[in-house]
């Protein structure tokens, strides 16, 4: 229970259905430092909101201190990815490595059979194959299955998403109708532990040596300008380059070894293929090429592609049409309609 409306309604729905519900919230970073050093989500106020909701629906509520685990599983990875010129996706790591790992393990210690969250996604059991399927949430504008692609069968077996089959409006309406104290709380937007959405400053604080100046070059290696650390850039970025050019320039690639930011025209951002690592196939690894819709970032319309499993946990996807700004470090998630086939980390 984050103190937001989605997990609050998730808890309320389960309690209403007669389940024996325990409310758990995760304290993810040291609250005493205040909001100066961390973002706006999961603050003391949010934990307090979660407690109020738990009281309103009459379930026990506990706050678990996961500061160390969050730092090890999520924040460290986030920082090292940026320092390596990649654009990380911490929410996916938080789901697979914290919520559906450490939190589930703790919950089992309390006698829980499953862990429910406020994610907009759906889990279904394929009785014939005895496997669990992950599907997009019913509300396409709120779907969060992209952040859940790395859940294993064992994790899906213990995952419950009570709001996944509802539109967001209905979730808010439920919260209002049941007088949950967070019914009108705004949705959280940015990465929860980054204050003011200034991830570059956060990375610099954690890894001062990431602040290594370098040059901005075009595709042919000509120097166009200077920069103060590649962690300040992300593929596809246009604003804030500090360059003047006749046509808009975009970040095409980040080269950590050379400390170079490569820029070029928009058309140069287009790619038709990608490879991914750490690939998780939800139900089964495909033997041959598979027609899918592949989604390369949270706000991307999944595009038709052919995906092929490679050796170990790698995969290759070839799109029917070129895609803009395929960004290393983000996830590529393969869908068959609403069903998540699998996904991995873009190389």
Partner 1 sequence: MRVYFDYNATTPLSPQAAEAVAAATRDLFGNASSVHYFGQQAKAAIDDARSAVASLIGADPSEVVFTSGGTESDNFAIRGAADALEPGGRRHLVASAIEHEAILNTLKALARRGWRTTLVPVDQSGIVSPGRLREAMAADTAIVSVMHANNEIGTIQPIAALAAVAHEYGALMHTDAVQSAGKIGVDVRALGVDLLSLSAHKFNGPKGAGALWIKRGTRMQPILTGGKHERNRRAGTENVPAIVGLGVASRLAAEKMDAEAVRVGALRDRLEAEILARVPGCAVNGEPGVRVPNTTNISFDHVEAESLLIALDLEAIAVSTGSACSSGTLEPSHVLRAMGLPSHRTQNSLRFSLGMFSTGAEVDRVVEVLPRLVEKLRNLTRRACR
Kindly list the catalytic residues: 94, 192
64 counts as binding partner 1 under rule CB under 8 A:
yes
Of 55-63, 134-142, 180-188, 337-345: span binding partner 1 (CB under 8 A): 55-63
Residue 267: Cβ-neighbour burial (10 angstroms; 0-12, 13-18, 19+): exposed
Of 77-85, 108-116, 182-190, 196-204: span binding partner 1 (CB under 8 A): 108-116
Shortest Cβ 47–partner 1 spacing (Å)? 6
Nearest to 327 by CA among 274, 266, 248: 274
| From candidates 19, 41, 84, 106, binder to partner 1 by CB under 8 A | 106
Shortest Cβ 63–partner 1 spacing (Å)? 5
Shortest Cβ 23–partner 1 spacing (Å)? 11
- Residue 5: which H helix or E strand, with range? helix 5-16
C-alpha distances (whole Å) from 238 to each of 226, 233, 264, 325 are 15, 9, 10, 11
The phi and psi torsions of 193 (rounded to 5 degrees) equal -100, 10
40 counts as binding partner 1 under rule CB under 8 A:
no
322 counts as binding partner 1 under rule CB under 8 A:
no
| From candidates 34, 60, 140, 289, binder to partner 1 by CB under 8 A | 60
The phi and psi torsions of 328 (rounded to 5 degrees) equal -55, 135
| Contact call for residues 135 and 339 (beta carbons, < 8 A) | yes
Report the C-alpha gap between 24 and 99 in whole angstroms.
11
Would you call 268 helix, strand, or coil by DSSP? helix
Q: Return the HEC string of 292-304.
A: EEEECCCCCCCEE
Instruction: Select 31 or 306, whichever has its Cβ closest to partner 1.
Output: 31
42 counts as binding partner 1 under rule CB under 8 A:
no
Instruction: Select 48 or 266, whichever has its Cβ closest to partner 1.
Output: 48
| From candidates 17, 33, 58, 111, binder to partner 1 by CB under 8 A | 111
62 counts as binding partner 1 under rule CB under 8 A:
yes
65 counts as binding partner 1 under rule CB under 8 A:
yes
| From candidates 6, 29, 51, 252, binder to partner 1 by CB under 8 A | 51
| Contact call for residues 74 and 245 (beta carbons, < 8 A) | no
Angle between helices 44-56 and 5-16 (to 10 degrees): 20
| From candidates 16, 19, 27, 225, binder to partner 1 by CB under 8 A | 27
35 counts as binding partner 1 under rule CB under 8 A:
no
Q: Which residue has tokens 């293929």?
A: 273
Kindly determine how many residues on this chain lie close enough to bind partner 1 according to the rule CB under 8 A. 19
Q: Which residues bind partner 1 (CB under 8 A)?
A: 22, 27, 31-32, 44, 47-48, 51, 60, 62-65, 105-106, 108-111
């Amino acid at each position: 229970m984050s103190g937001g409306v989605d997990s609050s309604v998730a808890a309320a729905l389960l309690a209403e259905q007669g389940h024996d519900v325990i409310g758990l919230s995760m304290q993810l970073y040291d609250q005493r430092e205040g909001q100066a050093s961390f973002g706006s989500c999961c603050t003391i106020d949010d934990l307090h909101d979660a407690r109020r909701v738990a009281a309103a629906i009459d379930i026990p509520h506990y706050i678990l201190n996961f500061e160390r685990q969050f730092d090890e599983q999520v924040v460290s990875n986030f920082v090292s990815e940026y320092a390596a010129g990649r654009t990380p996706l911490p929410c996916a790591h938080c789901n697979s490595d914290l919520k559906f790992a450490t939190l589930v393990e703790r919950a089992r210690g309390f006698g829980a059979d499953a862990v429910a969250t406020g994610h907009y996604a759906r889990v279904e059991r394929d009785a014939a194959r005895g496997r669990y399927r992950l599907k997009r949430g019913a509300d396409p504008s709120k779907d969060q299955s992209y952040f859940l692609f790395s859940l294993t069968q064992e994790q899906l077996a213990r995952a419950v998403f009570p709001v996944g089959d509802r539109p967001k409006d209905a979730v808010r309406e439920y919260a209002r109708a049941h007088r949950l104290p967070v019914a009108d709380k705004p949705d959280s937007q940015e990465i929860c532990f980054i204050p003011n959405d200034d991830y570059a400053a956060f990375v610099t604080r954690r890894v001062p040596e990431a602040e290594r100046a370098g040059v901005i070059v075009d595709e042919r290696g000509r120097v166009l300008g200077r920069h103060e650390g590649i962690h300040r850039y992300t593929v596809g970025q246009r604003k804030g380059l500090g360059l003047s050019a006749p046509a808009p320039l975009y970040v095409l690639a980040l080269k950590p070894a050379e400390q170079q930011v490569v820029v070029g025209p928009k058309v140069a951002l287009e790619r038709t293929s990608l490879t991914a690592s750490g690939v998780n196939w939800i139900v089964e690894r495909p033997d041959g090429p598979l027609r899918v819709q592949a989604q390369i970032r949270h706000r991307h319309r999944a595009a038709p592609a052919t995906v092929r499993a490679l050796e170990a946990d790698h995969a290759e996807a070839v799109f029917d049409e070129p895609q803009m700004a395929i960004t290393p470090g983000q996830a590529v998630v393969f869908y068959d309609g609403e069903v998540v086939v699998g996904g991995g980390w873009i190389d």
